[in-house]
Structure 1
Amino acid sequence: MTTYSKLKPKKVLFIATRQIGDVLVTTPLINKARELWPNAEFHFLGYRGKLEMLYGNPDIAEVIETSDRPGFKEYFSLFNRLFQRYDLAVVTQPSDRAYLYGLVAAFRRVGVLGGHPQGKDAEDNHKRSKSEKQNAWKKLICMHTVDVDYFKQHVIVEKLRLLECFFKNSAELFSKPISVTLPAGEPLSPAIVNELKQPFVVVHPGPLTAYKRWPLAYWQELITWLVKQGFQVALSASPAKQDVQLNHDIISLLDDDCKKQVINAAGKLTIPQAGTLIRNAVLYIGVDTSITHLATACNTPTITLLGATPPTNFGPWPNGFRGEQPYHLRARTQTIGNVTILQGPGECVPCRKAGCLDKADSYSECLDLLEPQQVIAAIEKVLPTQ
């Protein structure tokens, strides 16, 4: 690998054209880039509505938003805005569009390359060969690339390795504690503040896709147990229709006494406000979603319910962890720092597919078999009962 340790870019563009959580996990990369180039100006390009995780980030001078499906006029306007404006583009997603933005924006580029893992049959190997051909032009336009490994390499390490060509010794990337940068907090609305009382637990049941959901009856049992132990429950959710409905369905299963101890915050919190709420909680419990990554960054004790997702790739990063891999690929329960990851049974866990049917609205048997008692046992290890 060629070393470019003497390169001192004046303006750097970070590109993350994906979801909210994908933006948050770039912050350790930004932190390390700031150590490398203390006087450089950093900008960030991402999708409109997905960049709240950068709110108040002291290292980002400018945030550039674009549609996830821009038309010709928006493309033209964006290209004019970006054209050769930067000394370096850091492409943190393997999509063709992200690379196209990097090509337009900067003189030099580093980027993440997607791919298909080495398989055991001809179909898998054909997919791998196809992805390698699709990546050829991306390698050609970059001074350095990093391959995705969905089972062995954590996504935060993947992002940090984009900078390894700028170090004489790449081990320096992991020699210090690695942390995720929180968005700046915002005050909660008076309506929520007036309802809250300590101690409270934040529960976030809604993932982006159905195959990451935990069964409704399990949430009912868990929340009922928490209330009986003397905890108030703040039930958070995004403003998305399916998440608001999920919270409504869970609350409808609770008895009247339990409902009195549950605050439904669905659609009532910005990302910065969610951070404020979680920072003041005694515990956070959630599924595989961006808010769970936010919770670990808040240094709040966090219990994460994972199904198909490999914790070794996208498990919430334990703040201050030093090294390249916090987690085992498969373990019913594992705790690193303030993060506990729970997985269901099965040799297929984690499969990294979209549930058992490999589609967004699928069920996941591993989550169906991850029973409330396993979560309760984890809570009892983290928190004293009231």
Structure 2
Amino acid sequence: MSPVSTLQPKKVLFIATRQIGDVLVTTPLISKARQLWPDAEFHFLGYKSKLDMLKGNPDIDQVIETSDRPGIREYLSLFNKLFQRYDLAFVTQPSDRAYIYGLVAAFHRVGVLGGHPQGIQSSATEKSNRQNAWKKFISMHTVNVDYFSQHVITEKLRLLEIFVKNPSNLFSEPINVTPPIGEALTPAITNALTQPYVVIHPGPLTAYKRWPLAHWQKLIQYLVGHGLKVVLSASPAKQDLLLNEDILSLLDNDTRSRVIDTAGRLSIPQAGSLLRGAKLYIGVDTSITHLAAACNTPTITLFGATPPTNFGPWPNGFIGKQPYQLRARSQTIGNITILQGPGECVPCRKAGCIDHPDSNSECLDLLEVDQVIQAIEKLLAQ
């Protein structure tokens, strides 16, 4: 552990150049940094279309957007905008590009370093160590990723360890994820919400995080049969729109008439408004699940390959470093329930059973609808 830094930055840059969920999980770090430096100016650098999770965030003074694959002109423009403008940069992802941005932008840096899961051969670990060497050299403090034992929010908060005398104090008070401010829903959607409703978001970024179509069909029939309206959510991505269409095609006409399909029709702030009014949210391992938890909506999430100890949705108000167990068929912390399928290999942190984005995951295929229904009944009873 490095000595405590006395740095009092006036301008700070947070860098999260990945997906919208990765942006959202930086908000506890930003909130805690604001407590340390109440008068500092905070900027945030991320990819275009991935920063809506920060809309209205009271701790962010400016958002800087860049393409995920910028050309030479955009790189030059961005570097000119960033060059040595900041006292401190928080590099919250271990990518080379994120570290280069931090090196260009700030006089000092702290950052997350990548690694390999347990059991990966030592040669890969040695290669990772070589790749991380220059990142350590340019940083005043680094935190290693631990995909199985360390929650991603704990990982981000530990970037502040060098600035506090007692690092355990970072986890001694309630920790919250800050959602974006809400935006009004369209009248068509608002007028359709005439009874208590459940939001379902079945579409993950990759196929290996999917739950079978027939399971969604049975679950929706159960919810509708118990007097609940079902709101189907999805991103505008073609694969997510098609997934929702496939689910709807399996429903009988009566059930279908009590389902509202909002696929591709909501911004992230609008999704937040929808979630805040929901009686319950059910989804897979995806960013909207983290948003539901941040909005304090009772949440049930279906996990397969991903370790919940690393990326389970954070239960707002939790005190400590780790809310979850690595493996449990069902675990509830606060108003968040994580369900996992059977198998000693769960969670493997691979891309499904054949370690490919288009793979299926047997653990999710075998996660029965009855297990989800039991979790629903328990949450609704509360």
1:12 alignment partner, SS class: strand
**Distance in 2 between residues matched to 1:234 and 1:187, nearest whole Å:** 16
TM-superposed deviation, 1:203 = 0.4
TM-superposed deviation, 1:4 = 3.4
| Unaligned ranges ≥5, structure 1 | none
TM-superposed deviation, 1:117 = 3.2
**Distance in 1 between residues matched to 2:174 and 2:83, nearest whole Å:** 36
**Distance in 2 between residues matched to 1:285 and 1:317, nearest whole Å:** 15
CA-to-aligned-CA distance 1:300-356 (integer Å, 9 cap, x gap): 100000000000000000000000000000000000000000000000000000000
Q: Percent identity, please.
A: 75
In structure 1, the partner of 2:359 is 362
Is residue 331 from structure 1 mapped to residue 328 from structure 2 by the alignment? Answer: yes
In structure 1, the partner of 2:221 is 224
In structure 2, the partner of 1:14 is 14
Alignment of 1:77-226 (within 5 A): 77-119=77-119, 124-226=121-223
- Partner amino acid for 1:323? G
**Distance in 2 between residues matched to 1:38 and 1:5, nearest whole Å:** 17
Asked if structure 1 preserves the Cα contact closer than 8 Å seen for 2:112 and 2:145, the reply is yes
Asked if structure 1 preserves the Cα contact closer than 8 Å seen for 2:117 and 2:148, the reply is no
In structure 1, the partner of 2:56 is 56
CA-to-aligned-CA distance 1:241-273 (integer Å, 9 cap, x gap): 111111111011000100111000000100000
**Distance in 2 between residues matched to 1:197 and 1:139, nearest whole Å:** 55
1:164 alignment partner, SS class: helix
Is residue 65 from structure 1 mapped to residue 70 from structure 2 by the alignment? Answer: no
In structure 2, the partner of 1:322 is 319
Per the normalisation by structure 2, the TM-score is: 0.99
In structure 1, the partner of 2:349 is 352
TM-superposed deviation, 1:194 = 1.2
Asked if structure 2 preserves the Cα contact closer than 8 Å seen for 1:31 and 1:59, the reply is yes
- Partner amino acid for 1:114? G
Aligned residues between the structures: 382
2:61 alignment partner, SS class: strand
In structure 2, the partner of 1:46 is 46
TM-superposed deviation, 1:7 = 1.4
**Distance in 2 between residues matched to 1:135 and 1:116, nearest whole Å:** 12
Asked if structure 2 preserves the Cα contact closer than 8 Å seen for 1:118 and 1:128, the reply is no
Following TM superposition, the consecutive aligned residue runs of length 4 or more in structure 1 with deviations greater than 6 angstroms are: none
**Distance in 2 between residues matched to 1:164 and 1:125, nearest whole Å:** 28
**Distance in 2 between residues matched to 1:12 and 1:59, nearest whole Å:** 11
- Partner amino acid for 1:381? K
Per the normalisation by structure 1, the TM-score is: 0.98
In structure 2, the partner of 1:75 is 75
**Distance in 1 between residues matched to 2:115 and 2:209, nearest whole Å:** 23
TM-superposed deviation, 1:6 = 2.2
In structure 1, the partner of 2:35 is 35
RMSD over aligned CA atoms reads: 0.9
Asked if structure 2 preserves the Cα contact closer than 8 Å seen for 1:17 and 1:45, the reply is yes
Is residue 307 from structure 1 mapped to residue 280 from structure 2 by the alignment? Answer: no
2:220 alignment partner, SS class: helix
**Distance in 2 between residues matched to 1:351 and 1:118, nearest whole Å:** 10
2:338 alignment partner, SS class: strand
**Distance in 1 between residues matched to 2:124 and 2:355, nearest whole Å:** 17
**Distance in 2 between residues matched to 1:174 and 1:282, nearest whole Å:** 30
- Partner amino acid for 1:104? V
In structure 2, the partner of 1:374 is 371
Residue of structure 2 aligned with 1:294, choices 285, 291, 297:
291
**Distance in 1 between residues matched to 2:5 and 2:253, nearest whole Å:** 63
Asked if structure 2 preserves the Cα contact closer than 8 Å seen for 1:57 and 1:183, the reply is yes
